[in-house]
Amino acid sequence: MKTAIITGSAGLIGAEATRFFAAKGYRVVGVDNDMRQEFFGAEASTAWQRQQLEAELKDYCHYALDIRDIGGIEKLFSEYSSEIEIVIHTAAQPSHDWAAKDPHKDFTVNANGTLTLLEATRKYASKAVFIFTSTNKVYGDTPNALPLVEKEKRWEIAESHQFFAHGIDETMSIDNTKHSLFGASKVAADVLVQEYGKYFAMKTGVFRGGCLTGPGHSGTELHGFLAYLMKCAVTKQPYTIFGYKGKQVRDNIHSFDLVNMFWHFTQSPREGEVYNAGGSRHSNCSMQEAIMLCERISGNKMQIQYDATNRIGDHIWYVSDVRKFQSHFPEWRYKYTLEEMMQQIHDALVKRK
């Protein structure tokens, strides 16, 4: 039976990918030991998502494995070796704030864990497509050096700049910049995935995400911008804005739209390819704009607190240019707008609450 191995399978992107590829006829083998709870506390646990997947999908097989466990991962890959067609790696330590608290764990999860999965794929399923969920943090704080203009509710890039119309493309350098320790560990993983594609002629794709979101997100203060913001709106708990007057801009992509990019890549994979993958000009907002949207959808006035301290490595303005991916896969389209995403997040939170 054709099989897809998905790490972080109970997380936002992993669970979306699990349902998506199961619907395409794949047996999904999920790898997720709920480290998100260890990183961010009980409110961020993905146990509820694992239970839903196991109840919904009859062929779903879950393994509570640590991706750093070389023996355990290789045993798993050897068991399904002849059937593995796709490996989707979404498991990670995802917060640059948290990374500074435990650099060893951050690096071993993000970099060593990725190496373990790449080696297992090369040894036991070398023909499989390997997809890696990277991050725009690999560009460090280089985007902050762009010519930015302060508007009433947001920062915006100067209209004369090459990135104004479509956003930041893959030509931006990842060197000579402050990444945060999280960004550095993801750079290591990002480059490893590229190298396994180019050096070993494996079918590997790197997707450098903007803000990934959707109704399946277990949002928390240190990770999950829109989901946590809406959670605060629904529960009426205070939300703290850190720096840049709340005008910092993020592009946001629905988990379905990102996983649909993965699907298109599997249909015509390349070796060591890199794509920026975010909401682009289709779906982006500042924090102030997002707060207004949360208040309108929830019907609640939010309690906003301001901390003037800028988070290290935080982007002031980041919008992804996705035209490279669209040029390779012209049939791919966005399905969800920003407002539709936010409404879904709201409805899911109210239902779970």
Q: What is the CATH number of the domain that holds 60?
A: 3.40.50.720
The rounded percent of the chain whose pLDDT value lies above 90 is 87
**Rounded Cα–Cα distance for residues 59 and 54 (Å):** 9
- pLDDT tier at 171, thresholds 50, 70, 90: very high
Phi, psi (deg, nearest 5) at residue 306:
-115, 135
**Rounded Cα–Cα distance for residues 20 and 256 (Å):** 8
Half-sphere exposure of 24 (CA within 13 A, CB side): 20
Rg, C-alpha atoms of the chain: 19
pTM: 0.95
**Rounded Cα–Cα distance for residues 18 and 51 (Å):** 13
**Rounded Cα–Cα distance for residues 194 and 93 (Å):** 20
Q: Is the pLDDT of residue 222 over 60?
A: no
Give the pLDDT confidence score for residue 111 in this predicted structure: 98
Which of left, alpha, beta for 25 (phi over 0: left; psi -120 to 50: alpha)?
left
Closest CA to 22 of 59, 51, 50: 59
Task: Return the SS3 of 69.
Answer: coil
**Rounded Cα–Cα distance for residues 3 and 22 (Å):** 9
Give the pLDDT confidence score for residue 97 in this predicted structure: 84
- pLDDT tier at 309, thresholds 50, 70, 90: confident
Q: Is the pLDDT of residue 44 over 90?
A: no
Q: Find the domain containing 278 and state its range.
A: 3-352
Q: Is the pLDDT of residue 221 over 70?
A: no
Q: Is the pLDDT of residue 224 over 70?
A: no
Closest CA to 216 of 259, 251, 254, 261: 254
The structural domain count of the chain equals 1
Closest CA to 83 of 28, 3, 27, 6: 3
- pLDDT tier at 220, thresholds 50, 70, 90: low
Contact residues for 217 (Cβ-Cβ < 8 A; gap 6+): 12, 224, 226, 227, 255, 345
Read off the pLDDT of each residue in 325-334 and give the average, rounded to a whole number: 98
Read off the pLDDT of each residue in 13-39 and give the average, rounded to a whole number: 96
Q: Is the pLDDT of residue 34 over 90?
A: yes
**Rounded (10°) angle between helices 225-235 and 338-352:** 50
Lowest pLDDT segment from 32-46, 51-65, 185-199: 32-46
If one compares 60 and 96, the residue with the highest pLDDT of the two is 60
The rounded percent of the chain whose pLDDT value lies above 70 is 98
Q: Is the pLDDT of residue 91 over 90?
A: yes
Tokens 């402050």 found at? 178
Q: Is the pLDDT of residue 346 over 90?
A: yes
